[in-house]
Structure 1
Protein backbone atom coordinates (compact mmCIF):
# COMPACT_ATOMS: atom_id res chain seq x y z
CA UNK A 1 0.00 0.00 0.00
CA UNK A 2 3.04 2.26 0.31
CA UNK A 3 6.07 2.79 -1.89
CA UNK A 4 8.60 0.94 0.30
CA UNK A 5 8.88 -1.31 3.33
CA UNK A 6 10.03 1.62 5.48
CA UNK A 7 7.08 3.76 4.38
CA UNK A 8 4.67 0.92 5.13
CA UNK A 9 6.16 0.47 8.61
CA UNK A 10 5.83 4.17 9.44
CA UNK A 11 2.38 4.63 7.93
CA UNK A 12 1.16 1.34 9.39
CA UNK A 13 2.28 2.34 12.86
CA UNK A 14 0.58 5.74 12.61
CA UNK A 15 -2.67 4.37 11.20
CA UNK A 16 -2.72 1.55 13.76
CA UNK A 17 -2.34 4.14 16.51
CA UNK A 18 -5.28 6.09 15.11
CA UNK A 19 -7.23 2.84 15.01
CA UNK A 20 -6.59 2.11 18.67
CA UNK A 21 -7.69 5.63 19.55
CA UNK A 22 -10.88 5.17 17.50
CA UNK A 23 -11.73 2.02 19.42
CA UNK A 24 -10.96 3.59 22.79
CA UNK A 25 -13.10 6.65 22.05
CA UNK A 26 -15.96 4.48 20.82
CA UNK A 27 -15.80 2.25 23.90
CA UNK A 28 -15.66 5.17 26.32
CA UNK A 29 -18.60 6.82 24.56
CA UNK A 30 -20.69 3.68 25.04
CA UNK A 31 -21.45 3.24 21.33
CA UNK A 32 -21.10 -0.47 20.60
CA UNK A 33 -22.96 -0.04 17.30
CA UNK A 34 -20.01 1.99 16.02
CA UNK A 35 -17.31 -0.43 17.16
CA UNK A 36 -17.06 -2.44 13.92
CA UNK A 37 -16.50 0.60 11.72
CA UNK A 38 -14.22 2.14 14.36
CA UNK A 39 -11.99 -0.93 14.00
CA UNK A 40 -11.38 -0.20 10.30
CA UNK A 41 -8.32 2.07 10.84
CA UNK A 42 -6.64 -0.59 12.96
CA UNK A 43 -7.28 -3.16 10.23
CA UNK A 44 -5.81 -0.81 7.63
CA UNK A 45 -2.79 -0.12 9.82
CA UNK A 46 -2.08 -3.81 10.39
CA UNK A 47 -2.52 -4.33 6.65
CA UNK A 48 0.28 -1.87 5.96
CA UNK A 49 2.54 -3.47 8.54
CA UNK A 50 1.97 -6.83 6.87
CA UNK A 51 2.87 -5.33 3.51
CA UNK A 52 6.21 -4.21 4.93
CA UNK A 53 6.97 -7.92 5.37
CA UNK A 54 5.81 -8.51 1.78
CA UNK A 55 8.32 -5.90 0.59
CA UNK A 56 11.13 -7.62 2.47
CA UNK A 57 10.08 -10.97 1.02
CA UNK A 58 9.96 -9.67 -2.55
CA UNK A 59 13.65 -8.70 -2.48
CA UNK A 60 14.80 -11.82 -0.67
CA UNK A 61 15.21 -10.08 2.66
CA UNK A 62 12.81 -12.44 4.45
CA UNK A 63 12.66 -16.28 4.57
CA UNK A 64 10.31 -17.92 2.07
CA UNK A 65 7.71 -19.27 4.50
CA UNK A 66 7.09 -16.01 6.47
CA UNK A 67 7.01 -14.14 3.17
CA UNK A 68 4.32 -16.53 1.89
CA UNK A 69 2.31 -16.01 5.07
CA UNK A 70 2.62 -12.23 4.73
CA UNK A 71 1.36 -12.27 1.14
CA UNK A 72 -1.57 -14.48 2.08
CA UNK A 73 -2.48 -12.34 5.11
CA UNK A 74 -2.29 -9.22 2.95
CA UNK A 75 -4.67 -10.78 0.41
CA UNK A 76 -7.13 -11.97 3.07
CA UNK A 77 -7.54 -8.43 4.40
CA UNK A 78 -7.56 -6.69 1.03
CA UNK A 79 -9.92 -9.07 -0.75
CA UNK A 80 -12.57 -10.99 1.23
CA UNK A 81 -12.45 -9.01 4.49
CA UNK A 82 -12.85 -5.35 3.53
CA UNK A 83 -15.93 -5.67 1.24
CA UNK A 84 -17.74 -7.26 4.20
CA UNK A 85 -16.28 -5.20 7.05
CA UNK A 86 -17.13 -1.78 5.62
CA UNK A 87 -20.84 -2.32 4.77
CA UNK A 88 -21.31 -4.40 7.93
CA UNK A 89 -19.87 -1.54 9.97
CA UNK A 90 -22.13 0.98 8.24
CA UNK A 91 -25.14 -1.30 8.81
CA UNK A 92 -24.38 -1.60 12.53
CA UNK A 93 -23.81 2.15 12.90
CA UNK A 94 -27.16 2.91 11.23
CA UNK A 95 -29.40 2.28 14.21
CA UNK A 96 -32.66 3.19 12.46
CA UNK A 97 -34.40 0.20 10.80
CA UNK A 98 -35.23 2.22 7.68
CA UNK A 99 -31.60 3.18 7.14
CA UNK A 100 -30.44 -0.38 7.78
CA UNK A 101 -32.81 -1.60 5.06
CA UNK A 102 -31.11 0.80 2.64
CA UNK A 103 -27.62 -0.39 3.60
CA UNK A 104 -28.53 -4.10 3.64
CA UNK A 105 -28.23 -4.67 -0.16
CA UNK A 106 -24.67 -3.31 -0.06
CA UNK A 107 -23.82 -5.69 2.78
CA UNK A 108 -25.28 -8.61 0.86
CA UNK A 109 -23.32 -7.55 -2.22
CA UNK A 110 -20.14 -7.43 -0.12
CA UNK A 111 -20.79 -10.97 1.12
CA UNK A 112 -21.46 -12.13 -2.44
CA UNK A 113 -18.20 -10.61 -3.66
CA UNK A 114 -16.22 -11.95 -0.70
CA UNK A 115 -17.04 -15.60 -1.44
CA UNK A 116 -15.14 -15.95 -4.76
CA UNK A 117 -12.38 -13.73 -3.41
CA UNK A 118 -11.95 -15.98 -0.38
CA UNK A 119 -11.97 -19.08 -2.60
CA UNK A 120 -9.29 -17.54 -4.84
CA UNK A 121 -7.05 -16.70 -1.87
CA UNK A 122 -7.54 -20.19 -0.40
CA UNK A 123 -6.82 -22.06 -3.63
CA UNK A 124 -4.17 -19.94 -5.38
CA UNK A 125 -0.72 -18.85 -4.24
CA UNK A 126 -0.38 -15.10 -3.78
CA UNK A 127 2.52 -13.62 -5.74
CA UNK A 128 3.97 -10.14 -5.22
CA UNK A 129 6.63 -8.49 -7.37
CA UNK A 130 8.20 -5.05 -7.27
CA UNK A 131 7.23 -2.82 -10.18
CA UNK A 132 8.72 0.64 -9.91
CA UNK A 133 7.75 2.09 -6.54
CA UNK A 134 4.82 -0.31 -6.20
CA UNK A 135 4.08 -3.93 -5.45
CA UNK A 136 2.13 -5.88 -8.03
CA UNK A 137 0.01 -8.74 -6.65
CA UNK A 138 -1.19 -11.74 -8.65
CA UNK A 139 -3.77 -14.18 -7.29
CA UNK A 140 -5.70 -15.44 -10.32
CA UNK A 141 -9.11 -13.95 -9.63
CA UNK A 142 -12.07 -15.05 -11.77
CA UNK A 143 -13.81 -12.18 -13.60
CA UNK A 144 -11.72 -9.46 -11.90
CA UNK A 145 -13.61 -6.54 -13.50
CA UNK A 146 -16.95 -7.82 -12.19
CA UNK A 147 -15.56 -8.47 -8.72
CA UNK A 148 -13.87 -5.07 -8.58
CA UNK A 149 -17.12 -3.34 -9.52
CA UNK A 150 -19.01 -5.23 -6.83
CA UNK A 151 -16.23 -4.54 -4.34
CA UNK A 152 -16.40 -0.78 -4.90
CA UNK A 153 -20.20 -0.71 -4.87
CA UNK A 154 -20.31 -2.59 -1.56
CA UNK A 155 -17.69 -0.46 0.20
CA UNK A 156 -18.05 3.04 -1.26
CA UNK A 157 -21.78 2.65 -1.91
CA UNK A 158 -22.58 1.66 1.67
CA UNK A 159 -20.80 4.77 2.96
CA UNK A 160 -22.60 7.04 0.50
CA UNK A 161 -26.07 5.77 1.55
CA UNK A 162 -25.25 5.69 5.27
CA UNK A 163 -27.23 8.83 6.01
CA UNK A 164 -24.33 10.15 8.10
CA UNK A 165 -22.62 13.33 6.89
CA UNK A 166 -19.08 12.29 7.81
CA UNK A 167 -19.50 8.78 6.45
CA UNK A 168 -20.80 10.18 3.16
CA UNK A 169 -17.68 12.35 2.99
CA UNK A 170 -15.61 9.27 3.68
CA UNK A 171 -17.36 7.51 0.81
CA UNK A 172 -16.56 10.37 -1.58
CA UNK A 173 -12.97 10.52 -0.36
CA UNK A 174 -12.55 6.78 -0.76
CA UNK A 175 -14.12 6.67 -4.21
CA UNK A 176 -12.11 9.54 -5.66
CA UNK A 177 -8.96 8.49 -3.82
CA UNK A 178 -9.22 4.93 -5.12
CA UNK A 179 -9.31 6.19 -8.71
CA UNK A 180 -6.27 8.43 -8.19
CA UNK A 181 -4.31 5.75 -6.35
CA UNK A 182 -5.14 3.15 -9.00
CA UNK A 183 -3.92 5.43 -11.80
CA UNK A 184 -0.64 6.16 -10.03
CA UNK A 185 -0.21 2.48 -9.24
CA UNK A 186 -0.79 1.44 -12.87
CA UNK A 187 1.86 3.92 -13.98
CA UNK A 188 4.21 2.31 -11.43
CA UNK A 189 4.99 5.86 -10.31
CA UNK A 190 4.30 5.44 -6.63
CA UNK A 191 1.85 3.58 -4.41
CA UNK A 192 -0.29 6.06 -2.48
CA UNK A 193 -2.85 3.72 -0.93
CA UNK A 194 -1.29 4.30 2.50
CA UNK A 195 -2.03 8.02 2.20
CA UNK A 196 -5.67 7.23 1.42
CA UNK A 197 -5.81 4.87 4.39
CA UNK A 198 -4.42 7.59 6.66
CA UNK A 199 -6.95 10.17 5.44
CA UNK A 200 -9.83 7.74 5.83
CA UNK A 201 -8.65 6.89 9.34
CA UNK A 202 -8.58 10.57 10.32
CA UNK A 203 -12.17 10.95 9.11
CA UNK A 204 -13.19 7.95 11.19
CA UNK A 205 -11.33 9.35 14.19
CA UNK A 206 -13.43 12.48 13.95
CA UNK A 207 -16.56 10.38 13.46
CA UNK A 208 -15.92 8.31 16.58
CA UNK A 209 -15.58 11.45 18.67
CA UNK A 210 -18.71 13.08 17.37
CA UNK A 211 -22.07 12.92 19.19
CA UNK A 212 -24.54 10.48 17.68
CA UNK A 213 -27.12 13.13 16.85
CA UNK A 214 -24.84 15.26 14.67
Structure 2
Protein backbone atom coordinates (compact mmCIF):
# COMPACT_ATOMS: atom_id res chain seq x y z
CA UNK A 1 0.00 0.00 0.00
CA UNK A 2 1.10 3.54 -0.73
CA UNK A 3 4.07 2.33 -2.76
CA UNK A 4 2.82 3.19 -6.23
CA UNK A 5 -0.26 3.73 -8.38
CA UNK A 6 -0.22 0.03 -9.26
CA UNK A 7 -0.13 -1.00 -5.58
CA UNK A 8 -3.04 1.27 -4.69
CA UNK A 9 -4.97 0.13 -7.75
CA UNK A 10 -4.48 -3.56 -6.95
CA UNK A 11 -5.20 -3.22 -3.24
CA UNK A 12 -8.12 -0.86 -3.78
CA UNK A 13 -9.76 -3.24 -6.23
CA UNK A 14 -9.36 -6.22 -3.88
CA UNK A 15 -10.62 -4.34 -0.82
CA UNK A 16 -13.56 -2.79 -2.66
CA UNK A 17 -14.51 -6.25 -3.96
CA UNK A 18 -14.40 -7.60 -0.41
CA UNK A 19 -16.59 -4.67 0.59
CA UNK A 20 -19.18 -5.72 -1.96
CA UNK A 21 -19.12 -9.20 -0.42
CA UNK A 22 -19.68 -7.64 3.03
CA UNK A 23 -22.64 -5.61 1.80
CA UNK A 24 -24.14 -8.62 0.00
CA UNK A 25 -23.76 -10.74 3.14
CA UNK A 26 -25.59 -8.19 5.28
CA UNK A 27 -28.34 -7.82 2.70
CA UNK A 28 -28.80 -11.59 2.50
CA UNK A 29 -28.94 -11.81 6.29
CA UNK A 30 -31.50 -8.99 6.36
CA UNK A 31 -29.54 -6.82 8.77
CA UNK A 32 -30.04 -3.35 7.24
CA UNK A 33 -28.76 -1.53 10.34
CA UNK A 34 -25.32 -3.00 9.67
CA UNK A 35 -25.03 -1.72 6.10
CA UNK A 36 -22.91 1.38 6.91
CA UNK A 37 -20.35 -0.76 8.79
CA UNK A 38 -20.45 -3.47 6.12
CA UNK A 39 -19.79 -0.85 3.44
CA UNK A 40 -16.66 0.46 5.20
CA UNK A 41 -14.24 -1.77 3.20
CA UNK A 42 -16.03 -0.70 0.02
CA UNK A 43 -15.56 2.98 0.91
CA UNK A 44 -11.91 2.53 1.88
CA UNK A 45 -11.17 0.39 -1.16
CA UNK A 46 -12.60 3.13 -3.38
CA UNK A 47 -10.45 5.57 -1.41
CA UNK A 48 -7.32 3.64 -2.41
CA UNK A 49 -8.45 3.72 -6.04
CA UNK A 50 -8.72 7.50 -5.78
CA UNK A 51 -5.18 7.57 -4.39
CA UNK A 52 -4.02 5.60 -7.42
CA UNK A 53 -5.30 8.53 -9.49
CA UNK A 54 -3.31 10.92 -7.26
CA UNK A 55 -0.16 8.92 -8.02
CA UNK A 56 -0.94 9.01 -11.75
CA UNK A 57 -1.45 12.77 -11.69
CA UNK A 58 2.00 13.26 -10.16
CA UNK A 59 0.64 14.88 -7.03
CA UNK A 60 0.09 18.60 -6.89
CA UNK A 61 -3.27 20.31 -6.53
CA UNK A 62 -5.56 17.99 -8.47
CA UNK A 63 -9.23 16.93 -8.31
CA UNK A 64 -8.06 13.45 -7.26
CA UNK A 65 -6.15 14.88 -4.28
CA UNK A 66 -9.22 16.85 -3.23
CA UNK A 67 -11.46 13.79 -3.58
CA UNK A 68 -9.01 11.76 -1.49
CA UNK A 69 -9.01 14.42 1.23
CA UNK A 70 -12.81 14.66 1.29
CA UNK A 71 -13.13 10.95 2.05
CA UNK A 72 -10.21 10.85 4.50
CA UNK A 73 -11.06 13.98 6.45
CA UNK A 74 -14.75 14.96 6.79
CA UNK A 75 -16.36 11.71 5.62
CA UNK A 76 -14.66 9.08 7.82
CA UNK A 77 -15.17 10.81 11.23
CA UNK A 78 -18.90 10.86 10.48
CA UNK A 79 -19.29 7.54 8.66
CA UNK A 80 -17.50 5.39 11.23
CA UNK A 81 -19.10 6.55 14.52
CA UNK A 82 -22.60 6.83 13.08
CA UNK A 83 -22.26 3.48 11.32
CA UNK A 84 -21.25 1.89 14.63
CA UNK A 85 -24.06 3.72 16.44
CA UNK A 86 -26.71 2.50 14.03
CA UNK A 87 -25.44 -1.09 14.16
CA UNK A 88 -25.03 -1.22 17.95
CA UNK A 89 -27.34 -2.97 20.33
CA UNK A 90 -29.73 -0.59 22.18
CA UNK A 91 -27.95 -1.01 25.51
CA UNK A 92 -24.63 0.13 23.96
CA UNK A 93 -25.81 3.18 22.03
CA UNK A 94 -25.74 5.69 24.88
CA UNK A 95 -21.95 5.55 25.16
CA UNK A 96 -21.55 5.89 21.38
CA UNK A 97 -23.21 9.30 21.13
CA UNK A 98 -20.05 11.06 22.38
CA UNK A 99 -17.76 9.93 19.50
CA UNK A 100 -20.60 10.55 17.04
CA UNK A 101 -21.02 14.15 18.26
CA UNK A 102 -17.26 14.76 18.25
CA UNK A 103 -17.09 13.29 14.75
CA UNK A 104 -19.71 15.74 13.50
CA UNK A 105 -17.85 18.72 14.99
CA UNK A 106 -14.51 17.51 13.64
CA UNK A 107 -15.96 16.89 10.18
CA UNK A 108 -17.47 20.39 10.14
CA UNK A 109 -14.07 21.98 10.78
CA UNK A 110 -12.35 19.79 8.18
CA UNK A 111 -15.07 20.36 5.58
CA UNK A 112 -14.71 24.13 6.05
CA UNK A 113 -10.93 23.85 5.60
CA UNK A 114 -11.33 21.84 2.39
CA UNK A 115 -13.92 24.29 1.05
CA UNK A 116 -11.73 27.34 1.66
CA UNK A 117 -8.17 26.06 1.18
CA UNK A 118 -6.44 24.03 -1.55
CA UNK A 119 -5.36 20.43 -1.05
CA UNK A 120 -1.93 19.47 -2.33
CA UNK A 121 -0.29 16.07 -2.67
CA UNK A 122 3.46 15.44 -2.84
CA UNK A 123 5.14 12.20 -3.85
CA UNK A 124 7.81 11.44 -1.27
CA UNK A 125 9.61 8.32 -2.39
CA UNK A 126 7.18 5.46 -1.89
CA UNK A 127 4.51 7.42 -0.04
CA UNK A 128 2.24 10.40 -0.60
CA UNK A 129 2.12 13.42 1.66
CA UNK A 130 -1.01 15.57 1.67
CA UNK A 131 -1.05 19.25 2.55
CA UNK A 132 -4.18 20.72 4.12
CA UNK A 133 -4.05 23.85 6.22
CA UNK A 134 -6.04 22.88 9.31
CA UNK A 135 -6.10 25.19 12.37
CA UNK A 136 -5.76 23.78 15.90
CA UNK A 137 -4.37 20.60 14.40
CA UNK A 138 -3.70 18.75 17.71
CA UNK A 139 -7.30 19.36 18.83
CA UNK A 140 -8.77 18.38 15.46
CA UNK A 141 -6.60 15.24 15.25
CA UNK A 142 -7.65 14.22 18.77
CA UNK A 143 -11.31 14.64 17.82
CA UNK A 144 -10.76 12.69 14.60
CA UNK A 145 -9.15 9.74 16.37
CA UNK A 146 -11.75 9.74 19.16
CA UNK A 147 -14.56 9.66 16.60
CA UNK A 148 -13.08 6.90 14.45
CA UNK A 149 -11.14 4.76 16.92
CA UNK A 150 -13.19 5.59 20.01
CA UNK A 151 -16.46 4.51 18.46
CA UNK A 152 -14.97 1.16 17.43
CA UNK A 153 -13.35 0.52 20.80
CA UNK A 154 -16.58 1.37 22.62
CA UNK A 155 -18.69 -0.87 20.41
CA UNK A 156 -20.18 -3.94 22.01
CA UNK A 157 -19.29 -6.08 18.99
CA UNK A 158 -16.01 -8.01 19.32
CA UNK A 159 -15.18 -7.68 15.61
CA UNK A 160 -15.48 -3.90 15.79
CA UNK A 161 -13.46 -3.69 19.00
CA UNK A 162 -10.76 -5.77 17.32
CA UNK A 163 -10.82 -3.47 14.30
CA UNK A 164 -10.49 -0.46 16.62
CA UNK A 165 -7.53 -2.02 18.45
CA UNK A 166 -5.77 -2.88 15.18
CA UNK A 167 -6.33 0.62 13.80
CA UNK A 168 -5.10 2.22 17.03
CA UNK A 169 -1.89 0.20 16.82
CA UNK A 170 -1.59 1.10 13.15
CA UNK A 171 -2.03 4.80 13.91
CA UNK A 172 0.82 4.67 16.41
CA UNK A 173 3.06 2.80 13.99
CA UNK A 174 2.29 5.11 11.07
CA UNK A 175 2.86 8.18 13.23
CA UNK A 176 6.23 6.87 14.40
CA UNK A 177 7.50 5.59 11.06
CA UNK A 178 5.96 7.93 8.50
CA UNK A 179 5.16 11.14 10.37
CA UNK A 180 5.07 13.34 7.28
CA UNK A 181 2.91 10.90 5.33
CA UNK A 182 0.70 9.88 8.27
CA UNK A 183 -2.67 10.51 6.60
CA UNK A 184 -1.85 8.48 3.51
CA UNK A 185 -0.24 5.55 5.29
CA UNK A 186 -2.86 5.33 8.03
CA UNK A 187 -5.74 5.39 5.55
CA UNK A 188 -4.04 2.63 3.56
CA UNK A 189 -3.61 0.61 6.74
CA UNK A 190 -7.24 1.26 7.65
CA UNK A 191 -8.35 -0.03 4.25
CA UNK A 192 -6.57 -3.34 4.82
CA UNK A 193 -7.70 -3.62 8.43
CA UNK A 194 -11.30 -2.99 7.42
CA UNK A 195 -11.34 -6.49 5.96
CA UNK A 196 -12.00 -7.60 9.52
CA UNK A 197 -15.53 -6.40 8.81
CA UNK A 198 -15.80 -9.31 6.35
CA UNK A 199 -15.76 -11.79 9.22
CA UNK A 200 -18.50 -9.84 10.96
CA UNK A 201 -20.64 -9.62 7.84
CA UNK A 202 -20.44 -13.38 7.28
CA UNK A 203 -22.03 -14.21 10.62
CA UNK A 204 -25.12 -16.37 10.20
CA UNK A 205 -28.43 -14.61 10.48
CA UNK A 206 -30.17 -15.05 13.84
CA UNK A 207 -32.71 -17.84 13.85
CA UNK A 208 -36.31 -16.77 13.36
CA UNK A 209 -38.50 -17.32 16.43
CA UNK A 210 -40.72 -20.33 16.29
CA UNK A 211 -44.42 -19.56 16.49
State whether TM-score is above 0.5: yes
Q: CA deviation at 1:4?
A: 1.0
Instruction: Specify the alignment match of 1:88 in structure 2.
Output: 82
Structure 1 residues 206 and 24 mapped into 2: Cα distance closer, same or farther (>3 Å)? same
Instruction: Specify the alignment match of 1:23 in structure 2.
Output: 23
Say if 1:3 and 1:192, in contact at 8 Å, map to a contact too: no
Where in structure 2 are the equivalents of 1:26-105 lying within 5 Å? 26-58=26-58, 68-96=62-90, 98-105=91-98
Structure 1 residues 212 and 144 mapped into 2: Cα distance closer, same or farther (>3 Å)? farther
Cα distance between partner residues in 2 of 1:3 and 1:185: 13
Cα distance between partner residues in 2 of 1:42 and 1:170: 15
Q: 2:36 aligns to what SS in structure 1?
A: helix
Q: 1:30 aligns to what SS in structure 2?
A: coil
Q: CA deviation at 1:110?
A: 0.3
Corresponding position: 1:142 with 2:168 = no
Instruction: Specify the alignment match of 1:172 in structure 2.
Output: 165
Say if 1:184 and 1:192, in contact at 8 Å, map to a contact too: no
Count of residue correspondences: 204
Q: CA deviation at 1:212?
A: 6.6
Cα distance between partner residues in 2 of 1:115 and 1:26: 30
Instruction: Report the aligned-residue RMSD.
Output: 1.9
* Unaligned 5+ runs, structure 2: 207-211
Q: 2:62 aligns to what SS in structure 1?
A: helix
Q: Deviations over 1:159-190 (max 9, x none)?
A: 111111111111100100111123222277x9
Q: Deviations over 1:93-137 (max 9, x none)?
A: 1131x3111101110010010001000111111100111211111
Cα distance between partner residues in 1 of 2:133 and 2:155: 33
